[in-house]
Structure 1
Amino acid sequence: MSLTGKVAIVTGSGRGLGLAYAQELARHGARLVVNDVDQQVADDAVAAITAAGGEAVAVVAPVGPTETAKALVAAAVEHFGRLDILVTNAGVLRDTVLWKMSDDDFDTVVNVHLRGTFTCVREAATYLRGQGEGGRIICIGSPTGQRGNFGQTNYAAAKAGIVGMVRTWALELARANITANAVIPVAATAMTETVPFFKDFVDAAARGEQMPPFARRVLGFGTPDDVAGVVAFLASDAAAGINGQAVGVGGDRLAVWSHPQEVTTAFTDGGWSYEALTEDWESLFGDALQSVGQPMPTPPATAGTETAEKVRS
């Protein structure tokens, strides 16, 4: 399914995952509105897309404010005459443990990821509904938003919120033939290069080396290009029947995340008292309690002593 004739906005697309998404969409025929906060980075992204035969323009502005969302949609309409696809990828990190996280640490991350996704999708959805030809909303989540991660209160909250909004938008926009889905990527980027567990694999990718099967299969960890195909697919007509989903991708792995649901239930006449819970909780729910955090398997010896030592630490 070609994307020829389609117009896409990709926020945070000057480098990393966002650039990979924009380039892949362009490769399949879409015309692009690139977004970054750095003029040179945005210009370089546009140049790379046009050098490969695509069409692109840049909007240099931070996502979060409504004004940026309006500027992005206006650029698509002004330069290309329409809008069909929005990919909300822009993000920042301010990692620290709860008791050291400042108001600014929290607000900055939530403003860019969560509010930025909301304002951009609101503006795009308003235009797409008026255009009357359907559309594709693709929002980028994270395993941290699905499972939590030490030191990422702000990021976990924002990414979990994004998936929650996607489920709601899938309901609200369905009648307009606009789908909303989340992609949960795991890839070597500036955001993962600081994670000790992934460092050896990120460094290998930076050197142009093939990641080992342990990374690509067991961890589901790869490069931005491994994720880009899924984004392009969800943007296409071939994905018209996919809506409200959280699709995980990384390395050689593709997955669909489950939505939160009750895993077990119990009833008692008159409701649950403190005494009843104290007596019955363990027998009823002890085996049903859910784990938190992303499980990290121990790498094989062939993955390298240095990596194994980091995992153990």
Structure 2
Amino acid sequence: MEISLEGKVALVTGVGPNIGSGLALALAKYGAKVACNDVSDDSIKACIARIERNGGEAMAAPGDVTDEEVVKGYIQSVLDRWGRLDIVVNNAALLGGRGVLDESAETFEKMVKVSALGTFLNTKHGGRAMAERGIKGSIICVSSSNGWNGSAGVIAYAFHKGGVNNFVRAAAMDLAPYGIRVNGITPTAPNPDNPELLAERARQGLGPGGVLVTGPGPGLGGPTGDEEWRRPSRWTGQRPPMVPMGTTGTPTDLGHAVAWLCSDYARLITGTDLVVDGGARAKNFAYFPAAPEDLAGPLPLITLDDTPPFEG
């Protein structure tokens, strides 16, 4: 079985240097033409450059995913250039946030709006573009382990990712009569593998995953979390490896999975969620995997980015 997206056109929202860029690159490497959306022109340019230096074809589709006229505009620009739209990947979201005791109404509303309205509008108008042209396309919504399980300190993020999961099921029912499939994919904190992002983090003195928390963290919210009544949000001491396969993978792992979900081989798969996390979500809370040196680990990664490492 050889996955091919030749002749297909994809739109990826939120093409920042980690997951979004990785998904866009994967779709391009499997043969699709890719429209790259973000509110950051720098992110779009970097993603397009990454696709092009790896032999793919891409275009910019800039704009705010929460503005309906803007969404309609950049989808029309994709149709004007390539005449069709087969794939929409809803990845745009705001990360971070705070816990329920201290998150601001303004931040909560903004984070939920980007994910909820952005996913809705791009599914609505992307789906219409497909339906009007008789295209039996594929729509992917990027979820998160935080949308399925509880984690302290990210109440808005957890809320909107949980909403994504049922949106997938409901939208799949709406679009099934048109032969359009809607599915979710759930990553769990993938390790960056974009050479540019790795080089930038190295220049900042950070590891691939960014800042490593090694000491006691703040309590549940607050500017400092040091009120007398505070309880710690999580234990920050030494923990055993928590992922059964020994790694949560990379955006490239997600990209392979998304490319397959968008291919004709997945023609009957709709309204479901594909978890790419090394077994993290399947694990019972009481189960501790073996020590790192005792884990066999997964097969070697099939890479997609042929770029030599950037200097860091």
- Relative to the length of structure 2, the TM-score reads 0.73
Q: Would you identify which runs of 4 or more consecutive aligned residues in structure 1 move more than 2 Å?
A: 199-204, 214-220, 294-303
Gaps of 5+ in 2: 199-205, 212-240, 295-312
Gaps of 5+ in 1: 194-198, 205-213, 258-290, 304-313
Q: 1:188 is aligned with what amino acid?
A: N
Do 1:248 and 1:254's aligned partners in 2 also have CA atoms closer than 8 Å? no
- 1:300 counterpart = 2:252: no
- 1:188 counterpart = 2:179: no
Alignment correspondent of 1:147: 149
Match 1:231 to one of 258, 261, 269: 258
**What is the deviation of 1:117?**
0.4
What SS is found at the alignment partner of 2:171? helix
**What is the deviation of 1:203?**
6.0
Structure ranking higher on relative contact order (CA contacts 8 Å, 6+ apart): 2
- 1:56 counterpart = 2:58: yes
**What is the deviation of 1:145?**
0.7
CA distance in structure 1 between the aligned counterparts of 2:79 and 2:10, rounded to whole angstroms: 10
Do 2:244 and 2:280's aligned partners in 1 also have CA atoms closer than 8 Å? no
CA distance in structure 2 between the aligned counterparts of 1:151 and 1:14, rounded to whole angstroms: 23
Q: 2:291 is aligned with what amino acid?
A: P
Identity of aligned residues (%): 32
Do 2:192 and 2:208's aligned partners in 1 also have CA atoms closer than 8 Å? no
Match 2:277 to one of 250, 253, 263: 250
**What is the deviation of 1:301?**
7.0
Q: 2:209 is aligned with what amino acid?
A: V
Alignment correspondent of 2:179: 177
Residues 254, 148 of structure 1: CA spacing in aligned structure 2 closer, same or farther, 3 A cutoff? closer
Alignment correspondent of 2:129: 127
Do 2:95 and 2:157's aligned partners in 1 also have CA atoms closer than 8 Å? yes
How many residues are matched? Answer: 250
The superposition leaves residues 24-43 of structure 1 with CA deviations (integer Å, 9 ceiling, x where unpaired) of: 10011100100122212211
Q: Larger % of helix: which?
A: 1
The 5-angstrom pairing of residues 93-104 of structure 1 reads 93-104=95-106
What SS is found at the alignment partner of 1:182? strand
The 5-angstrom pairing of residues 31-70 of structure 1 reads 31-70=33-72
Alignment correspondent of 2:19: 17
- 1:107 counterpart = 2:134: no
- Relative to the length of structure 1, the TM-score reads 0.73
Do 1:33 and 1:58's aligned partners in 2 also have CA atoms closer than 8 Å? yes
